[in-house]
Structure 1
Amino acid sequence: MTDKAAVRWGRTLGLALPLIVLNTGWIANSEMRTKVTEITITTLFIGVAFLLFLLSLGNALVRRLAPRAALRPAELFAVYVLLSLSSSVAGIGNLGFFTPFLVNAWRYGPERGWEKFFPYLPANLLGPRDPARLKAFYEGHTSFFTPETLTAWAPALVFWGVFLFLLFSTLLCLAYLLRQRWADQEHLTFPVVALPLELCREGIPLFRNKLFWAGFGIPAFFYTLNTLAGMYPSLPSLPFNKPVDLMALNAPPYSGFGMVVALIHPSGIGFGFLINADMLFSLWVFHLGKKLLNFWGVTQNWRDLGTDTQNEHPDQFPFIQFQAWGAWLVVCLAALFAARRYFATLPQQPGARVALTGAVVGFLAIWVMLVLAGAPWWLPLVLLTIYILLQLTLARLSAETAVLSPLLNWVDPQSMITTLAGTAALSPTDLSHLATLSWFNLDYRAGLLPQALQGFVGMQRSAARLRPFALACLLALAVAITSALLWDMQFYHVNGAGTANVNPYRLLASSSPWARLAGWVSQPRPPDSHAWLGALFGAGMTLLLGYLRTRFVGFPLSPAAYVLNLTWANELFWLDLFIAWILKASVLRYGGIKLYRTALPFFLGLILGDFVTGAFWSLVGLGLGAEIYRTFPN
């Protein structure tokens, strides 16, 4: 290993750990505010991209003034990964929904008729029911750091903090195990790490490229213009990233296509340029096919048109929701089956043996915790297995396609279990524990496994040792969980979880498990045969597409694209990917790989300009305490 590849962990952690605390605080005070850019909903986190941009500039200045004090490329990339892990911990779908979830049942139960399932709830795993503590949390104007409040919340926060550390440590071990198979043997591209690795290169040659700054300047100019226009209405604006539902303009049956959103994200075009051209083709073709099937189903009276064009009716023909369940699970299972010989060699590799032991011990420790807390013995096994399979699929798709914002909607363990098994077969206690384990299954956009896997791949490409890096990741997880919980609790106690100072989506999403539980308990249902058939069809279609890709060279349709289009992961970005497909296909056709490499900095600039500008105005809004133009997402 060269000196440039060696990581001086003292200075690296000395920089990363304080930044983790600040980063989790930024997320708590930005994403949980009203009408702001959400900085943890993309595969390359917006806030972390902004911090890496500043660190790269600062490190370049330090290198010029005091070369020995500058961070090495591997050290800078390690800081980036540790910040990404902390953003995953604190972000949407993880701790972003957690704290309101703990007490929403107590706060809103009496007025919404949820009291009927209170006797079945594991109260020892939820927050305090004391009216004074609930008033402080929902109305604000107080502090979390008082003896009474700390004592009331401590049991639930400690339990779930340990749970989350074990869960994320298990995912970290799995990422270590899969890195060699997917990166070294299958040669997946991992396009998301391309930009961070460029920003960590010594001397940052990307910053000396004029095309990069041209790409950077486009979103920077328009987002700044639109933000200022929102603050000063007399200024002109060009809100090209605001959604236009084309089908809302049409009368039935054409509105049966569902919501067809036309909007442009520069980062979407930039990431699209990093994806293989045939994958891009598949992504927009399957999106079009889904819409055509929706329309056909309406004309045949097989699905409801409804009055809301945004309602995709995923549980009706062509049963997109059920197809998604089978497809998402089979992607992971097929990849694991293909790697069976690789897994057989793991016990002979010292590092892999430790990671394998860690994954097994972590999983069993979580299971024991939940069973001792009152959960039926089988439920954590089933739910956690599905959760891990979905995380593995998400990591696999991110390694192949650079999923910009993996919004999975209706793909979650709770929906699968209650629909396929039927709620009538489950007791109220079973269903209550199922709902209690919903908070980390509501949104996978900040999924940790893709971040960890990309981190191991990037560190390997930086020629750094992976074992100390893995230990640093564990330390970062512990710091991130602790700091995020404290920031979140203080934020809600100051601003009030039930006030207009807080993003209402956080409260709505974290209440949804209890609303679903009320439906499960009051209306028991048998297993859904349509769900079984749809899931089997989705699994079969995924396997068929995979077979055709391997059997016929040049077969253009990818199973990964099919799987992504069964969720909302592609719904807001299909136009970006269509534009990227046209541009990339044209570049490769008329200029070849040479022109592609020449043009690549421009598209990396689109990504970074989009994210840096969005993060900058997020900080401005945070500093001003104002609701300003939301650059991403829309």
Structure 2
Amino acid sequence: MFAVRSLVFVGAVGFVLLIACANAANLLLVYPDRLIYVTAMSAISITPFISTIRAPLIGMPFCVVVSVGGQYIANVLNAPNIAYAHLPHCLLIPFLILVLTPNALLKMRFRQLALTSRELVLIFAMGLIASIAPDWAMNWYLMAVITAPHYYASVENQWETKFFDYLPDWLVLDYDAARGFFEGIGPSRPIPWRDWATPLFWWGSFIVAMLFVGACLVVMLRKQWVEHEKLRFPLGEIAIHLIGAERDGKDDSAWPPFYRTSLFRTGFITMLMLSLYNCTTYWTGWSHFPIMGGAADTFILTIDPAYPAQVFRLNIFSLCFAFFINVEILFSLWFFQIFSTLQAGYLNRIGMTSTTLVPGGLVSIEFIGGMISFVLWGTWMARRHLWRVVCHAFGRPSELDDRNELFSYRTAVFGLIIGFLYIMYWLHHAGMAFLVIVLFLFFLYVFYLAVARVMAEAGLVMIDLPINANQFTVGMIGSANVSTPTITGMALTNAFARNWRTFTMIAISHAAWFKDYLGKSDHGESMEDKEKATNTKPDEVDTRWDPSASFFLWMCVAFGIGSTSSLGYLIWAGYRYGEQSLRGGAIGSLGNGFYAMAIAWIDNATRITELEVAFLVGGGIMTFIMTIGRYLFYWWPLHPIGFVVAAAAPIRSAFFPFFLAWLIQVLLLRFGGVRLYQKAQPLFLGMLVGYLIGAGVSYTIDVFWFPDTPHLYENFF
């Protein structure tokens, strides 16, 4: 283990040196005039999208740092939250320490060698895509499904007799290979990579198809979300502020504009000092400042045994991101948490409960009805744009311009069709019935689209799926109406059906937003707008050195590097040390629960009731009313997003940060208006950066001083 820690340290130092080498190579090999330019006939002067290939060259090893580093910290320190958030620690901490800070120091002395803000955005986007692979993002669920069934099967749980006949052997690991992973084989024996080849190949093909379908949907909807609905993408805005990409061309300062304000320095120093003090308590045993949302810092309010407890905890990470959320959404988030508590308690007192195996019961079903209505309404509002996209894809005359998308509309439309066909084919061969596949995919992509749409408007950094699509599908159909082969296939879908980071299109939609942001000039005009204003034809622009067309390619490379490196490390660590010793068998316990759920579906035949249908429809109607109210009445106080995500566990845990951020925003807007609110943003950005640096110090301390008794730096539950 010491050798691994040393390797991580050497790798971090080497990565910093790589930045200097890449810049030196750029100075020697790239001529200054080899940038994006336009011909003498054009009156446009387009800023280079990315001046050289050094950004991808730095981005690729950065993806390894993000993915393997995140998986390593999760394994060694049992810190799954490092990859939990949608802008996770495993991305933000190395970006601030290994990329942004060295680049700012380099810019102070050798300005021409420093990375531009646009190059930094590309590196950040690659890291964001790589971060959707490690641990809780994807690997944890995938490994649990692949490794658990044969190893944990026993006479008591009856897995072998009840569903092993329908378990595809090309998707799971055999007993001997799984035993070596969970118990370890030591350094002397070779790792049986060949046993992993078949399941990883077929799961890999399925994951690629799922991600590509998500990318196709993002391409088809991005213009609707950004240009028609004017969605802000708050997480993207925060990233732009962290990078400093919003600065104009005349700003040559080493540090981004927000970093140079006194409020940023105040927030940064204050939060860094509090975080460093909390780190000293690892040795002293003194009381720490309750800023991390841990169990010891939680106050639980229970008004009656029949009512769910309301949790109060202060998580600075959540608070800093919540400050950038619209005040109406913030109000709705905490309001519907109170509504959920009161409604659930009242239903418990009168004995009205759900009979299906849907977590959360009737209240959860109601919120899911709202989520379905939310997506259907959004699709209806986008119908004209989607029709124009389809017409454009089939070659009909259209005013749409897809040059600033990840790829063409034609690729998106036909890729969507082909991708869905392969997904259905794959699931059918895994044992699922065709009609169940159709309903399951409908719920799955409704949930994925809902979360992606919520993130585009609200920027909830810690949101996950309120319910898993496979559980909801079985609950709605009734397990009595589902065959055992289909239930077995449903158990396998836990690898992706409960995944809120990798497959929900949040990362790829933000990557598309970054590409659109970079495709605009310093004055916010897109290339097509400039062409219209100056009567310039697209073929007059020389883009030989413009890699914007390969932006999606670099995102694919980032995911390939992130997924293969983190999965490879996880498999290697399992066989060398034993997964059970690394994390106390967390992956095995998760997989055990997945397949135990299949037994529960088989043994407990349930059917959907009229009461559950009524709550499902009622939730949809409530969301529809709130949506119409926002369109018709300017004073309407409730935002449907608060209702749609109310069943998600991290939203309930973040009740107090949402309320506190809402209260601060209301006071700022009341006494100083929007200008005062904007002036306060650097304070919370500084708090965020200080908190992240403190987290990095904490992880480093635990790796070298407390590897056997690590400290949980942050908790979202």
- TM-score, normalising length from structure 1? 0.91
Larger Rg: 2
Following the alignment from structure 2 to structure 1, what is the Cα–Cα distance between the partners of residues 83 and 502?
A: 6
Following the alignment from structure 2 to structure 1, what is the Cα–Cα distance between the partners of residues 590 and 271?
A: 30
Map 1:551-566 to 2 at 5 A: 551-566=632-647
Aligned partner of 2:196: which letter?
A: W
C-alpha displacement of 1:586: 0.8
C-alpha displacement of 1:198: 1.5
Q: Is the 8 A contact 1:247 1:257 kept in 2?
A: no
Following the alignment from structure 1 to structure 2, what is the Cα–Cα distance between the partners of residues 533 and 615?
A: 49
Q: Aligned residue for 1:95?
A: 139
Q: Among residues 490, 493, 518, which one is paired with 1:437 in the alignment?
A: 493
Q: Aligned residue for 1:421?
A: 477
Quick check: 1:238 aligned with 2:294?
no
Quick check: 1:214 aligned with 2:295?
no
CA 93–63 in structure 1, closer or farther in 2 if over 3 Å, else same: closer
Where in structure 1 are there 5+ consecutive unaligned residues?
A: 305-311
C-alpha displacement of 1:449: 0.9
Q: Is the 8 A contact 2:83 2:137 kept in 1?
A: no
Q: Among residues 163, 168, 178, which one is paired with 1:134 in the alignment?
A: 178
C-alpha displacement of 1:421: 0.7
Q: Secondary structure at the match of 1:261?
A: strand
Quick check: 1:362 aligned with 2:419?
yes
Q: Aligned residue for 1:575?
A: 656
Q: Aligned residue for 2:340?
A: 290
Q: Aligned residue for 2:517?
A: 461
What do the CA deviations read for 1:54-76 (whole angstroms, capped 9, x no partner)?
21111122223333332221221
Map 1:291-370 to 2 at 5 A: 291-302=341-352, 315-316=360-361, 319-346=362-389, 347-348=391-392, 349=400, 351-370=408-427
Q: Is the 8 A contact 1:206 1:601 kept in 2?
A: yes
C-alpha displacement of 1:575: 0.6
CA 255–527 in structure 1, closer or farther in 2 if over 3 Å, else same: closer
Aligned partner of 2:199: which letter?
A: A
What do the CA deviations read for 1:13-35 (whole angstroms, capped 9, x no partner)?
21111121222111221223454
Q: Is the 8 A contact 1:328 1:390 kept in 2?
A: yes
C-alpha displacement of 1:550: 1.0
Q: Secondary structure at the match of 2:688?
A: helix
Map 1:160-175 to 2 at 5 A: 160-175=203-218
Quick check: 1:598 aligned with 2:679?
yes
CA 483–384 in structure 1, closer or farther in 2 if over 3 Å, else same: farther
C-alpha displacement of 1:165: 1.6
Following the alignment from structure 2 to structure 1, what is the Cα–Cα distance between the partners of residues 563 and 497?
A: 17
Following the alignment from structure 2 to structure 1, what is the Cα–Cα distance between the partners of residues 666 and 109?
A: 44
C-alpha displacement of 1:460: 1.6
Identity of aligned residues (%): 19
Following the alignment from structure 2 to structure 1, what is the Cα–Cα distance between the partners of residues 600 and 120?
A: 49
Map 1:372-391 to 2 at 5 A: 372-391=429-448
Q: Aligned residue for 1:227?
A: 279
Q: Aligned residue for 1:265?
A: 315
Quick check: 1:82 aligned with 2:126?
yes
C-alpha displacement of 1:141: 4.4
Aligned partner of 1:220: which letter?
A: L
Q: Among residues 585, 591, 616, which one is paired with 2:666 in the alignment?
A: 585
Q: Aligned residue for 2:24?
A: none
Following the alignment from structure 1 to structure 2, what is the Cα–Cα distance between the partners of residues 614 and 367?
A: 43
420-429 vs 106-115, which deviates more?
106-115
- TM-score, normalising length from structure 2? 0.81
CA 287–315 in structure 1, closer or farther in 2 if over 3 Å, else same: closer
C-alpha displacement of 1:345: 1.3
Q: Aligned residue for 1:308?
A: none
CA 619–394 in structure 1, closer or farther in 2 if over 3 Å, else same: farther
Q: Aligned residue for 1:398?
A: 455
Q: Aligned residue for 1:188?
A: 231
What do the CA deviations read for 1:593-634 (whole angstroms, capped 9, x no partner)?
221121110011222333332244224423442433322224
Q: Aligned residue for 2:529?
A: none
CA 96–5 in structure 1, closer or farther in 2 if over 3 Å, else same: farther
C-alpha displacement of 1:104: 1.0
What do the CA deviations read for 1:350-402 (whole angstroms, capped 9, x no partner)?
52222222222222222233334554334444333322221111111111211
C-alpha displacement of 1:220: 2.5
13-22 vs 290-299, which deviates more?
290-299
Q: Is the 8 A contact 1:178 1:453 kept in 2?
A: no
Q: Among residues 13, 17, 23, which one is paired with 2:60 in the alignment?
A: 17
Quick check: 1:488 aligned with 2:540?
no
Q: Secondary structure at the match of 1:394?
A: helix
Following the alignment from structure 1 to structure 2, what is the Cα–Cα distance between the partners of residues 113 and 74?
A: 56
Aligned partner of 2:567: which letter?
A: L
What do the CA deviations read for 1:510-557 (whole angstroms, capped 9, x no partner)?
322201101112222223433322211111111111111111112000
Q: Is the 8 A contact 1:323 1:539 kept in 2?
A: yes
Quick check: 1:633 aligned with 2:676?
no
Q: Is the 8 A contact 2:368 2:616 kept in 1?
A: yes
Following the alignment from structure 2 to structure 1, what is the Cα–Cα distance between the partners of residues 358 and 436?
A: 28
CA 145–605 in structure 1, closer or farther in 2 if over 3 Å, else same: farther
CA 446–166 in structure 1, closer or farther in 2 if over 3 Å, else same: closer
Following the alignment from structure 2 to structure 1, what is the Cα–Cα distance between the partners of residues 212 and 189?
A: 28
What do the CA deviations read for 1:87-117 (whole angstroms, capped 9, x no partner)?
1122414222211321211111115332222
Following the alignment from structure 1 to structure 2, what is the Cα–Cα distance between the partners of residues 358 and 143?
A: 44
CA 142–381 in structure 1, closer or farther in 2 if over 3 Å, else same: farther
Following the alignment from structure 2 to structure 1, what is the Cα–Cα distance between the partners of residues 484 and 52?
A: 50
Q: Is the 8 A contact 2:144 2:590 kept in 1?
A: no
Q: Secondary structure at the match of 1:451?
A: helix
Q: Aligned residue for 2:22?
A: none
Q: RMSD value over aligned CA atoms?
A: 2.6
Q: Is the 8 A contact 1:270 1:603 kept in 2?
A: yes
CA 378–484 in structure 1, closer or farther in 2 if over 3 Å, else same: farther
Following the alignment from structure 1 to structure 2, what is the Cα–Cα distance between the partners of residues 479 and 493?
A: 21
Q: Is the 8 A contact 1:326 1:539 kept in 2?
A: yes
Q: Secondary structure at the match of 2:648?
A: coil
C-alpha displacement of 1:191: 0.8
Q: Is the 8 A contact 2:318 2:462 kept in 1?
A: no
Quick check: 1:517 aligned with 2:560?
no
Q: Is the 8 A contact 2:629 2:636 kept in 1?
A: yes
Q: Secondary structure at the match of 1:569?
A: helix
Following the alignment from structure 1 to structure 2, what is the Cα–Cα distance between the partners of residues 491 and 473?
A: 27
C-alpha displacement of 1:406: 1.2
CA 422–300 in structure 1, closer or farther in 2 if over 3 Å, else same: closer
Following the alignment from structure 1 to structure 2, what is the Cα–Cα distance between the partners of residues 208 and 531?
A: 55
Map 1:97-112 to 2 at 5 A: 97-110=141-154, 111-112=156-157
Q: Is the 8 A contact 1:7 1:74 kept in 2?
A: yes
C-alpha displacement of 1:445: 4.6
Q: Is the 8 A contact 1:439 1:513 kept in 2?
A: no
Q: Secondary structure at the match of 1:39?
A: helix
Q: Is the 8 A contact 1:128 1:152 kept in 2?
A: yes
Aligned partner of 1:209: which letter?
A: T
